[in-house]
Amino acid sequence: MKRIISKSTLREFWDIHEDAEQYLKTWYDTAKTAKWFSPNDVKKTYANASILKDSRVVFNIKGNSYRLVVKFNYEKQWAFIRFIGTHSEYDKINANTI
Domain boundaries, the chain: 3-90
Q: How far apart are CA 61 and CA 27, in angstroms?
A: 8
C-alpha distances in Å from residue 77, one per residue of 2, 4, 5, 41: 5, 9, 11, 12
Give, for all 98 residues of the chain, the pLDDT tens digit: 789 998 999 999 999 999 999 999 999 999 999 999 999 999 999 999 999 999 999 999 998 899 999 999 999 999 999 999 998 999 999 999 99
- Its pTM stands at 0.95
Q: How far is CA 72 from CA 11, 59, 63, in A?
A: 20, 13, 22
CATH architecture of the region 3-90: 2-Layer Sandwich (3.30)
